[in-house]
Every structure is written in C-alpha cells, then in structure tokens.
C-alpha cells in the first residue's frame, strides 16, 4: 500500500484497517511503500505486520510518508512492473486524492496494473463518494478556530476574516462557516462583489455583532481575474494559493470603516489527530479496500454512499469535481449579514 499527495488526518487509520482486515480475514501479507509512487518506482518497500499498525487509529499524518511524485516518472509503469514482480505483489492499494486516483486509474486502464483506490482529501471534492476522510477533521479544526477568533473579535469590536483551504471548492468554508455562525461565507463556486461583502459585514455590525467572514483560499471576488497566490508554484507547477484573506481585510475595512483582521489557518487543517468520524470512516475504507483487492476488482475504490461502504470506479471519482451545489449556497445565504 502507498499514500500519495497531500497528507491528512485518517491516513494511518486506513493503513491499520487494511493490515488488520487483510491478515485476520484473508491471511494476506503486506508491504508498505514509502513516499507514494516514488517508493514503487525506486523499490523502497518494507514488510508490515499487525505490530507495525498498533495504535494508529488516532495518529495524524502517515507512517508511510508521502510525495507528489508522478507515476510516469523515472521509468514509469515498466519500472513498477519490475518492483511488483520482485516482491510478488498481487495488488497495490493507493490511498490519495484526485491526482493519486487519476494516476491509479490510468495505470489500470492503460497498463493493466492491479490497483485498488482509497479516496482521501480534506476538500471533499471527489465524485463517486459522499464524503472523503480528512474532511470532517478539517472542518472541525476550522470551526474551533473560528469560535476562538470570535471571542477576540467581540472583545475589540472587530471584523475577522478567516481563510480556510479550498482550491476549487468551498466545502470546508461552507461547513465550518455555518457551524460557527459566520456572517459571510465566500467560496470559489459563487463569486460576489466587495460591495456585497461589505453589506453583509455592516449588517452584522449594525446588529451589535463582531462580523465573521469565512473565505476559501480559491475564492475570487467579482472584479478580480484570478485566484490570489502569494507563494509561487508547487512541484506540479500549480500556484500555491493563500492570501485572499489578506486582500479582503483592508478592503472590508475601507468599505465599512470597521477595524478588520485576517487569519490564514493553512496547514493547521491538515495536521493532528483525526476526529472520531474520520477514524471510523478511514478504518472502514481500509477494510473495504482489502476485500476489493481479494476480489481482484482493479480500478475500483472504497466509497461512502449514505452510511454504507460500496465499490466505485476510480475514474468516476476523478471525472469531475464535486462542487458545492447552488442549493447549498442559497441555503447558507439566508444566514448571512
């Protein structure tokens, strides 16, 4: 098994679920692949037993390590086949988000490699599953942070702008904002003007509140042409988003006359121990992935539908992004201002 892409709470619980279910129910043996696709390309693997996964449910990060290595680098599929044959591996369980599962689906489709997926992303933007693990922890951390910032905002009669993760979708902003009673929630899916943001903030102030604005990092106000990125490019050539809160705060203060401060939560949302919900979901995903591997259902992944864990095609999960629908935006807007 391997973990690839960004880390998030729940990865270790998946690993534990895979190993324990595989050994106890199927008599399987396992190797861990270090640092995602890099480990499979460079033959950086080690044997794993139940002792290796002891006490992992509540531990954040990933004991396997992760990277953003592309599966078609450094020899690609041909090199992977050699490593798979050398260790007599019957299946690879790839745990990751959109990039990982896209690569895994391609390796199954074009190269015939035996890969099963487990969907992971704090953004909750993968199709073919109701929720991904990591999301509940991220929204819970964001909610707690907003609650804490509210008390200092009220003490100083300030407006607070809190930036959360969300490159293309606003699920974290939506859930954390609604949970914490934000007076405006700004998401990539629904641009609004600076004037509208100012109106919501002023309305909250006029009711005697300290205005709270929650914004996803990928939000683009009407009138701007692109997302705010203050940190250059990542290893995949994508802009490193972050800083929209710092752009919004002075504009809000200018428009409303309310002293305004910005806080960027950043990687706090991805670190630390997973919530109980994510621990359970991760464990169930891991156990289901083992069953799919035993059944040789290559190209599928564990998926949550309602409260049941089912199989879904990895290609369906990455075919399109799961955006926040208009109905959820309209529902939340009733609470703004």
Paired tokens of 117: 């997926």
Is 196 assigned a ligand-binding role in the annotation?
no
Annotated catalytic residue: which of 35, 123, 125, 136? 123
CA dist., res. 178 & res. 160, Å (int): 15
Is 261 assigned a ligand-binding role in the annotation?
yes
Is 69 assigned a ligand-binding role in the annotation?
yes
Is 205 assigned a ligand-binding role in the annotation?
no
Distance, first Cα to last Cα, the chain = 48
Paired tokens of 134: 């990591």
Contact (CB, 8 A) for 267 and 122: no
Is 79 assigned a ligand-binding role in the annotation?
no
Is 6 assigned a ligand-binding role in the annotation?
yes
Is 44 assigned a ligand-binding role in the annotation?
no
110 included as an active-site residue: no
Is 326 assigned a ligand-binding role in the annotation?
no
Paired tokens of 35: 């640092």
DSSP string, 182-218: -SEEEBTTB---HHHHHHHHHHHHHTT---EEEEETT
Helix, strand, coil share (%) of the chain residues, nearest 5: 45, 20, 40
Is 90 assigned a ligand-binding role in the annotation?
no
Which pairs from 148-152 meet CB under 8 Å and 24+ separation? 149/212, 149/263, 150/180, 150/181, 150/210, 150/212
Is 170 assigned a ligand-binding role in the annotation?
no
Which residue is listed with tokens 């487990």? 118
Is 121 assigned a ligand-binding role in the annotation?
yes
Is 99 assigned a ligand-binding role in the annotation?
yes
Is 296 assigned a ligand-binding role in the annotation?
no
Contact (CB, 8 A) for 147 and 140: no
Bridge partners (DSSP) of residue 305 are: 308
Is 122 assigned a ligand-binding role in the annotation?
yes
Query: Given CA atoms 190, 196, 201, 204 in this order, what sign does their dihedral have?
Result: negative
Task: Write out the catalytic residue numbers.
Answer: 123
Residues annotated as binding site for Mg(2+)? 98
Residues annotated as binding site? 6, 68-69, 97-100, 121-123, 158, 165-167, 217, 261, 267-270
Residues annotated as binding site for ATP? 6, 68-69, 97-100
Residues annotated as binding site for substrate? 121-123, 158, 165-167, 217, 261, 267-270
């Amino acid at each position: 098994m391997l973990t690839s892409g960004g880390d998030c709470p729940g990865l270790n619980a998946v690993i534990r679920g895979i190993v324990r279910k595989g050994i106890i129910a199927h008599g399987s043996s396992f190797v861990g692949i270090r640092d995602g696709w890099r480990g499979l390309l460079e033959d950086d693997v080690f044997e794993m037993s139940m002792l290796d996964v002891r006490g992992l449910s509540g531990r954040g990060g990933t004991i396997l390590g992760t990277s953003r290595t592309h599966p078609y680098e450094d020899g690609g599929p041909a090199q992977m086949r050699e490593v798979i044959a050398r260790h007599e591996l019957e299946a690879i369980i790839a745990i990751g988000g959109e990039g990982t599962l896209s690569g895994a689906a391609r390796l199954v489709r074009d190269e015939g490699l035996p890969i099963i997926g487990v969907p992971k992303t704090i953004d909750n933007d993968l199709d073919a599953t109701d929720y991904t693990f990591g999301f509940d922890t991220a929204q819970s951390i964001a909610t707690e942070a907003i609650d804490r910032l509210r008390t200092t905002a009220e003490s100083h009669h300030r407006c607070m702008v809190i930036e959360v993760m969300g490159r293309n979708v606003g699920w974290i902003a939506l859930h954390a904002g609604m949970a914490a009673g934000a007076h405006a929630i700004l998401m990539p899916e629904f641009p609004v003007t600076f004037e509208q943001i100012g109106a919501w903030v002023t309305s909250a102030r006029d009711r005697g509140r300290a205005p709270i604005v929650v914004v996803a990092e990928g939000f683009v106000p009407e009138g701007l042409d692109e997302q705010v990125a203050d940190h250059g490019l990542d290893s995949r050539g994508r802009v490193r988003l972050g800083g929209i809160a710092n752009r919004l705060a002075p504009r809000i203060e200018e428009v409303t006359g309310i002293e305004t401060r910005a806080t960027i939560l950043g990687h706090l949302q991805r670190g630390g121990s997973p919530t109980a919900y994510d621990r359970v979901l991760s464990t169930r995903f891991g156990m289901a992935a083992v069953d799919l591997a035993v059944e040789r259902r290559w190209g599928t992944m564990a998926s949550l539908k309602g409260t049941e864990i089912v199989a879904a095609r990895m290609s369906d999960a990455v075919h399109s992004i799961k955006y926040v629908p208009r109905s959820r935006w309209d529902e939340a807007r009733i609470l703004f201002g």
